[in-house]
Amino acid sequence: MASYTLMGILNVTPDSFSDGGRFMEPQDALEHATRLAREGAGILDVGGESTRPGAEPVSPEEELSRTVPVLGALARAQLGVELSIDTTKAVVARAAIEAGAVLVNDVSALRADPEMAEVVASGGVGCCLMHMLGEPRTMQLQPRYEGDVVDEVKAFLEQRLAFAVAAGIAEERIILDPGIGFGKTLRHNLALLDRLDELRSLGRPIMVGTSRKRFLGVLGARAHGSPEPLEADRRLPGTLATSVLALERGASIFRVHEVAPVAEALAVATATLGGDGG
């Protein structure tokens, strides 16, 4: 039976590509988090730095001041969900763990900060290792892979998994993510989704984050014969389509902005695949 977890996104940033500026006030963040939990999120991923293409880096102090109070408030609210911190900085991860985070979602896969692996290992928490080609500021400027994108992403994740385990992070707490949209063209994203099942042999849960990403705006616009990509708030149908396909190909964690519709789509998909007897 397919079993999966929804990770609800809570961006405490002024500039995230689809929800920037909406949850900067702790009260707004808490209300949104409560809603995501009620709708079926098992994990809430709190981020204080946008990784959208072209985003400028944020100082550690700024990132700490955005995320730690929110994590503290979420922990106190006892929403019945696990808390995750979306960061590449060890100092932020350490403070987040103290505030109640049990997962570190590091889009650099422990490469950006030499102290990150030790913070995750000694904190006894889980981590998500994601593939990214380049860095957010420039990653979408003509991303190129020498060979096959799926083979390269798989080899990268295998190598980062080995690195994390060697650093003392419990293997059973590691999640792998192909990093949809991170240094990838439309064709790269589609190949990774179509052949997602090839990552299963790495033996760890696979997370995917397609939610509202630009390639869905491009494909969605084609359906309407429109030359301009659909705006981020019109990418839910694409998010649902790709989430269902990723589920069928073995993904088990879905990082999404809108939990309720994805929960519904995945429930229908699971039943259709014979997972729960309908």
Question: Which amino acid type is present at position 150?
Answer: V
Nearer to ligand HH2, 16 or 140 (CB): 16
Question: Does the protein bind ligand HH2 through residue 67 (CB under 6 A)?
Answer: no
184 noted as active-site residue: no
Give the DSSP H or E segment for 268: helix 259-272
Nearer to ligand HH2, 21 or 76 (CB): 21
Compute how many residues bind ligand HH2; rule: CB under 6 A: 21
Nearer to ligand HH2, 37 or 157 (CB): 157
Question: Does the protein bind ligand HH2 through residue 177 (CB under 6 A)?
Answer: yes
Nearest-angstrom CA–CA distance, 15 and 22: 10
Question: Does the protein bind ligand HH2 through residue 105 (CB under 6 A)?
Answer: yes
Strands 174-177 and 207-208: unpaired
89 noted as active-site residue: no
Pick out residues in 204-233 that bind ligand HH2 (CB under 6 A): 207, 209
Stretch that binds ligand HH2, among 13-21, 67-75, 164-172, 243-251 (CB under 6 A): 13-21
Residue 125 CB, nearest distance to ligand HH2 (Å)?
Answer: 15
Nearest-angstrom CA–CA distance, 32 and 167: 35
Cβ neighbours of residue 48 under 8 Å, at least 6 residues apart? 12, 13, 58, 62, 63, 64, 66, 67, 86, 87, 92
Strands 126-130 and 174-177: parallel
Catalytic residue among 94, 160, 184, 213: 213
Question: Does the protein bind ligand HH2 through residue 50 (CB under 6 A)?
Answer: yes
